[in-house]
Amino acid sequence: MSDDPTARQREVWDAAAPAYDRQIRLFERIWFAGGREWLGARAQGRVLEVAPGTGRSLEHYPAGVQVSGLDLSPEMLAQARRRAAELGLTVDLREGDAAQLPYADASFDTVLCALALCSIPDPARALAEMHRVLVPGGRLLLLDHVGSTWAPLRWGQWLVEQVTRRTAGEHFTRRQRPLVEAAGFEVVEAERLKAGTVERLHAVRRG
């Protein structure tokens, strides 16, 4: 496995792609229930989904939005393209790095990221890029697992993280909200669920 964090993430998700939907289905039904619907209901205009994976959010977008997606893993993108075709959707899906989005400034009205900032190697830089490609007043929509508000559970998450950080680059105690605010966003809606382990954020780009 590569020593470069970004290359390592690509390897991890390429390997996970064939079984990902089967493995995540139960977690999404119980742990993240309603999360993708919550995100989709708030998406508008030109939408960029960062790290769409196998395209599990696609069916939840409202009619009329224009969806683009960028993912590090070509194998995940292959799954997402199949899903888009099955849904009859036209989606611009590209391979690329969240830390270097290949789009011009102010290109999107909404940027969405579901269950991915937990494993993006440099989340602060990724959020700065999301801020850059949004129009002023544009929407940032996030869903992720974060460190619990209950100390014993947060301690357990930390223990699990000692393994997952090394094997998959996945963090369980990260908290995205401070990074979102530091990147120049104003949080206008937030929810913490499941003992605080799940966070939904709706923020807007200031300026």
Element (H, E) at 46: strand 46-50
Buried b (16+ CB within 10 A) or exposed e, 188-201: eeeeeeeeebbbbb
Q: Is the pLDDT of residue 193 over 80?
A: yes
Q: Cβ(179)–Cβ(131) under 8 Å?
A: no
Banded pLDDT at 69 (limits 50, 70, 90): very high
Q: What is the pLDDT of residues 134-165, one digit of tens each?
A: 999 999 999 999 999 999 999 999 999 999 99
We report the CATH number of the domain holding residue 150 as: 3.40.50.150
- pTM (2 decimals)? 0.96
Query: Binning pLDDT at 50, 70 and 90, where does residue 55 land?
Result: very high
Number of domains present in the structure of the chain: 1
CA distance 180 to 100: 17
Residue 83 backbone phi and psi in degrees, to 5 = -65, -45
- State whether residue 134 is helix, strand or coil: strand
Q: What pLDDT is stored for residue 133 in this prediction?
A: 98
For 89, phi then psi, to 5°, come to -105, 145
- Sort strands 46-50 and 66-71 into parallel, antiparallel or unpaired: parallel
Distance (Å, whole) CA 176 – CA 119: 11
The proportion of the chain whose per-residue pLDDT surpasses 90, expressed as a percent, equals 96
pLDDT of residue 3: 74
Q: Which domain holds residue 17?
A: 5-205
71-100 mean pLDDT: 97
- Residue 32, helix vs strand vs coil: coil
